[in-house]
Structure formats: structure tokens, C-alpha cells
Amino acid sequence: MPLIRAGAVVLDDQVCRPGWLEITGARILACGAGEPPAPPDRDFPDCLVVPGYIDMHVHGGGGASYLDAEQIDEAAQFHRCHGTTTTLASLVTAAPDTLIAGVRALAEATRSGTVAGIHLEGPWLATARCGAHDPTQMRDPEPGEVDDVLAAGEGTIRMVTLAPERPGAGEAIRRFVDAGVVVAVGHTDATYEQTQQAIALGATVGTHLFNAMPPLHHREPGPALALLESPAVTVELIPDGVHVHPAAVHAVVRAAGPDRVAVITDAIAAAGCEDGAYRLGAVQVDVRAGVARVHATSTIAGSTATMDQLFRTISRLGPDADAALVAAVQMTSATPARALGLGRVGALQAGYDANLVVLDRELRVAAVMAQGAWR
């Protein structure tokens, strides 16, 4: 039963200096503020320990993609090294056969514990807000395809992003919610009222808020305001300095609170790699100066970010350093865990999975533990 001590540990929404955790197998047996009850097996005197990051929207990284069955393990391992101990692997819009094959591959990866489940970002999206998705494969959510996808996932699909203005979207939202799937509104041209209706039907997440949706307008507030003002909705943000202006990030966190904001990477295979040509599904992507865009356009195509990078950014959101750290932990672990209905992850407390990240003075990853094993 390893005993871990650190100069600081985030426990119960506060920064404890020092703090400790006792691990047994894959679980946290006990934890607390102050000095540990016995000499520690591992001591990190100049480090901060936080819960393992939870990325609920990511397509790949380290040159590997969750869209390729043979690269799933590699993509997950890349992000694990950056502190992401719980991953919801995202699939983009694709033809029906390709979509089903991708779901089946990730269902197997979910059962093996490589990822925590599947996020379907498409194909039931708005062509006008396609972003880096293939617009020729976007379609209405027909009941038959919805049932086929759910059957292929065998309970591993945790979230679906769709455009609520699509014909049949209301019925699809009901079907997914009944199946225990979180429904997210995104890549949409929906009105404020259509978004409200989707929320009333059970949608509880806003996919990468502001991106791939109409901008907020004072006479046509659109989906962004409807998502922000509903206390039942968790909004995703990509605070990489590219997708959302830092001032907008601050405003959203102040308005919604850290308990309703989930930081995501939306990373593609290019994360952690050099600039160059990549693919996101059927779409060619160019990465220049670390920014991914659809080939020969200005359209952003996911990100090259990692969760540790984004944690460093959002941990500087306020003048109170400890409060900012606690908020960063909420947005990178506790909030996404709650939004997805994941148990035993998202916090450091007795009975939870032993998923943690050790950060040095610059908040860079010094060590990662997942399911009680150092990675």
C-alpha cells in the first residue's frame, strides 16, 4: 500500500500544504492534509498533486488517431503521459459503414480500459457549421442508424454531439437519453429557441462553446446563450488561445462557474508533433505554428493541445492562486466526470480510482498514476 506525500495536494476543493494519499491496488484508500501517518514511500516535496485529467473530447495525439483501430492505444498513451487518465475518444462524421467500424473498435478499447467510452461528434451536424467535418457525409439522425450505432457500441457510447435543428433530432435526443447517452449540442445553426427545446428534451452539454455555432447576437442570441444560461448544461471550452479569446474564457467561467465548465483539448493526431499535413477523418488538415486548419482554408480543425498545457493556462484565471488552482481542478476533472456520469474519478478521495498527476513548480507533469500504477 504505497503512501505518497507532496508539498501540496488538492483535496476537498482546497489546496492542502502538505498533503498525502495512501493507495491500495487501483484505489485511493485514504488521504488527508498535513503530514502522512507513516513515512512515505514516495515524497514530492516541491510538487502539487491533482486528480488525473479527464478529456471528454479528443480525437488523437502523438501522431495517432482514435479513428484508426490500430492507433487507439498509442493515442491514449500519449495523452496519459500528459496527465489525461480518463479519455472519451471522439469520432468525427463518416459514412455509415466507417462510423460503425469506428464505434466497434472503440467499444473494444473501452472494454479493455484503454478509454472510458466513445463520443460521437457527428454525423448528425449542420452542414453550415461543419468545421473540419466532411459536409458530404452529414445527415439527419434516422432512427434506424441511431439504433445501429447504439447496438454497435453495446453501452460504450457516452456522449453524442448533434445539431438540434436537424429533422428527427428531437426523437434522436429522446432515444439517446433513454439509452443513457449524454446529448451535446454542437456544430449547429440552431436558434436560441431550438436550443432551449433540445435542453428541455435532455441535452446537457454544449460542444466547444462558441466554435461551430452562430455568434451571440443581441437580437438573435442563438445556441451559445441558451447553453450558458441553463444550469443543467455543462459547456466545453478549448482555452488554447486559438479557439476562444482569453477574455471570453474568463467571462464564461465567471458566468457559469467552474462546476459548469469542462476544459477539453479537441486534440487531433498532430498534438505533440511537428507542423505538417495531417488528416481528421476524410478531411485534410494543415498544421502551421501549432494551429490546425482545414487545408487551404482558415477553418480551425481541432487543436494540438494537451490537458496539462490547458491546466497551466486556466490555473492563472484569478488573482487568488489557490482558488484558481481549485477551479482548474474542477474544470479538468470534477466537472467533466459529473457531466459524463463517471463514478470514482474526478477527485482525490477515499474509494476513488487512484488517478493522479504530480506537477512541478511550473505545473509541468513530473509523474502520472493511472489505476494505481505509475505511467
Mind spelling out the 3-state secondary structure of 128-191? HHCCCCCHHHCCCCCHHHHHHHHHHHCCCEEEEEECCCCCCHHHHHHHHHHCCCEEEECCCCCC
pLDDT band (50, 70, 90) for residue 319: confident
Tell me, what's the pLDDT at 78?
A: 98
Residue 91 pLDDT: 98
Residues 172 and 28 in one domain: no
Q: How confident is the model at residue 58 (pLDDT cuts 50, 70, 90)?
A: very high
Same domain, 306 and 352: no
At 230-282, the pLDDT tens digits run 999 999 999 999 999 999 999 999 999 999 999 999 999 999 999 999 999 99
Residue that has been written with the C-alpha cell 435532455 in this structure: 202
Q: How confident is the model at residue 137 (pLDDT cuts 50, 70, 90)?
A: very high
Is a pLDDT exceeding 80 seen at residue 1?
no
Average pLDDT for the chain: 97
In this prediction, residues 16-22 reach a mean pLDDT of: 98
Query: Do residue 35 and residue 104 come from a single domain?
Result: no
Residue 300 pLDDT exceeds 80: yes
Q: Confidence class of residue 307 from pLDDT cuts 50, 70 and 90?
A: very high
Does 154 belong to an annotated binding site?
no
DSSP state of 290: T
Average pLDDT over residues 177-185: 98
Q: Does one domain contain both 289 and 370? A: no
Query: What total of structural domains would you count in the chain?
Result: 2
Q: Which of 55, 189, 240, 266 is catalytic?
A: 266
- Establish whether 42 is an annotated binding residue: no
Confidence of residue 331 (pLDDT cuts 50, 70, 90): very high
Shared domain for 210 and 120, answered yes or no, is yes
**Same domain, yes or no: 199 and 230:** yes
State yes or no: 301 annotated in a binding site. yes
Q: Are residues 69 and 150 in the same domain?
A: yes
Residues 24 and 59 in one domain: no
pLDDT digits (tens, 9 = 90+) for 205-221: 999 999 999 999 999 99
Residue 302 assigned to a binding site: yes
Query: Do 216 and 208 meet the contact criterion of CB atoms below 8 Å apart?
Result: no
> Are 160 and 281 part of one and the same domain?
yes
Domain limits for position 115: 53-340
Are both 354 and 335 inside the same structural domain? Answer: no
SS3 label, residue 69 = helix
Determine whether the annotation assigns residue 208 to a binding site. Answer: yes
The answer on 241 and 119 residing in a single domain is yes
pLDDT score for 347: 98
- Is residue 79 annotated as involved in ligand binding? no
CB 238 within 8 A of CB 56: no
168 has pLDDT over 90: yes
pLDDT at 200: 98
Which pLDDT score is estimated for 5? 98
The mean pLDDT of 316-334, rounded to a whole number, is 94
Would you say 121 is a known binding-site residue? yes
Q: Is residue 50 within 8 Å of 37, Cβ to Cβ?
A: no
pLDDT for 87-116, tens place per residue? Answer: 999 999 999 999 999 999 999 999 999 999
The helix-helix angle for 143-153 and 169-178 (nearest 10°) equals 30
Check the CA dihedral 164-147-176-107 and report its sign. Answer: negative
Indicate whether 66 and 8 sit together in one domain.
no
- What does the block give as the cell for 56? 471528454
Task: Give residue 318's pLDDT.
Answer: 81
**Domain CATH number, residue 28:** 2.30.40.10
Residue 156 belongs to domain with CATH number: 3.20.20.140
Question: What whole-number distance in Å separates Cα of residue 326 and Cα of residue 341?
Answer: 21
Q: Is 266 known to be catalytic?
A: yes
